Homo-oligomer: A and B are copies of this chain.
Amino acid sequence: MTGGFVDDYLSYLLARASHLVSRDFHAQVKRSGLGVAEWRVLATLSDGGPMIIGELARRVLYEQPTLTKVIDRMEEGGLVTRAAQESDRRRIEVRITPAGTAAVVGLLPAAKMHETQLLASYSPEEVALLKSVLRTLIDRLSAD
């Protein structure tokens, strides 16, 4: 069952850890009436302010055409608004609405709590190193 190539392969460890770590919380997200895509968009916007489609797509790990359709649905549902920037009307700024904020406000502390529980059995040094390695990987691979 274990011991082969795959079980020591970084891509697989990351994919599986990511999958499992998200699983329980994503179930909670769905119970609250949001999909995972909506959760990611709202968490990102509520965290960092308005963002254009392309940047938001990179942030939430979707292709641009996929995100455009997610935003279509969310705009329809009143969770976000869409408006072209004055200075460059190609750039469409997505902005969270009060309804969107209301939809995530309860999930944000739940997410923090979920993370705290997950990491409770590791030392602060281990957690710091884990996050540091992940962040440097991300930074390096984002620079394209």
Contact = CB atoms under 8 A, between A and B. Distances in A.
* Oligomer copy total: 2
A40 to B, nearest CB: 8
Interface of A is mostly: helix
Max chain B C-beta neighbours (<10 A), residue from A9, A17, A48, A131: A17
A23 B141 contact: yes
5 contacts: A11-B111, A13-B134, A13-B138, A14-B22, A21-B141
Interface of A: 1, 4-11, 13-25, 43-44, 47-48, 59, 61, 108, 111-112, 114-115, 118-119, 121-122, 126, 129-131, 133-138, 141-142
A61 B20 CA distance: 9
